[in-house]
Amino acid sequence: MILTVTLNMALDVTYEVPSVDWDGVNRVGAVHRRAGGKGVNVARVLAALGREVLVTGLVGGPTGRAIEEDLESAGLRSELCGIAGDSRTTLAVCETGGSRDRRTALFNEPGPQVTPAELAGFVRRYTSLASAADVVVVSGSLPRGVPADFYATLAGIPAAPVIVDADGDPLRHAPKGRPAVVKPNAEELARAFPGGQGAQELRSQGAEAVVVSMGADGLLAVTGEGTFRARMPYTVEGNPTGAGDALVAGLAMDMAEEWPDRLRRAAALGAAAVAAPVAGAFDRDVYADIHPQIVIT
């Protein structure tokens, strides 16, 4: 079983519009509303690939109830911890016109305030769930009231191998928990470690491996077995929201697999997610086409 952790769970709303007029009225062509947050997106991809997955995290208020209802309707098994604050909503505005310059704008609310008692309750629940998992994925932003080193705390609890996907201070602190994999994108890594040696720095501080996503330029993995690069054969156009989550799902599927195979699948899933309209989905045709063409060096 793969356990995904989403502390700042959200109700994701996606607006599809032909093009955005930022000074006028826009007519929305399609609206998608579904439970989200990075760990939920990872879980959706894993479930679509036939893997047993369990979703945990923090939810509260009317938005939290909507999240729980959507998880249930999607058939995603969950064990969530309730909080007093209302869970957040995110909004993605995606241009769907014929231009190759289609843009996506993402608006993320900060999330609810979490009390120390609520956080302690979650740690107890997480410790129990992680002990029964084969892999744990901890990803996304932290709601207010959660300390910046909390992902390191979770990774340091003796259990299954942990993959951490984080930004900012949570990324900088993550290696202290000795996670199996830390997965930033190139921009996140540069912000956290401006000197240009971020992957090596994360490993020197305790991460077993670091996988850096670089968009159309593929993936870079710095591991104990060596450094690997996944190169994409072509660029997939679409909505990049959720591509990193699909990539993480690919890394989590089989932690015992050789790095070249893991990277190839992860890169292919990330590209296939760009071709899907909403985060947590991927285009199976794109995945099947691009997977064998990815070159690992």
Segment 27-39 shows an average pLDDT of 93
CA-CA distance, 94 to 130, in Å (whole number)? 36
CA-CA distance, 247 to 237, in Å (whole number)? 16
Segment 13-32 shows an average pLDDT of 91
Whole-model pTM: value is: 0.92
Q: Tell me the residue length of the chain.
A: 297
pLDDT of residue 282: 96
pLDDT of residue 159: 85
Show the CA angle centred on residue 42, arms to residues 37 and 47, nearest 5°: 125
Segment 24-34 shows an average pLDDT of 93
pLDDT tens for residues 223-274? 999 999 999 999 998 888 889 999 999 999 999 899 999 999 999 999 999 9
Of the candidates 259, 275, 177, 261, the residue with the CA atom closest to the CA atom of residue 211 = 259
Segment 51-62 shows an average pLDDT of 98
Is 12 designated active site?
Answer: no
Domains of the chain from N-terminus onward: 2-9+38-86+117-296 (3.40.1190.20)
pLDDT of residue 104: 83
Lowest average pLDDT, out of 3-7, 49-53, 105-109, 161-165, goes to 105-109
pLDDT of residue 238: 86
On the 0-12 / 13-18 / 19+ scale of CB atoms within 10 A, 17 is: middle
pLDDT tens for residues 93-124? 988 876 566 788 889 998 999 999 999 999 99
CA-CA distance, 35 to 64, in Å (whole number)? 9
pLDDT of residue 98: 64
pLDDT of residue 195: 76
CA-CA distance, 242 to 41, in Å (whole number)? 7
Contact 287, 272 (CB under 8 A): yes
**What type of residue is 216?**
A
At 198, which helix (H) or strand (E)? helix 198-204
Of the candidates 135, 163, 153, the residue with the CA atom closest to the CA atom of residue 244 = 163
Q: Which of 167, 245, 283, 289 is catalytic?
A: 245
What's the distance, Cα to Cα, between the start and end of the chain in Å? 31
pLDDT of residue 216: 87
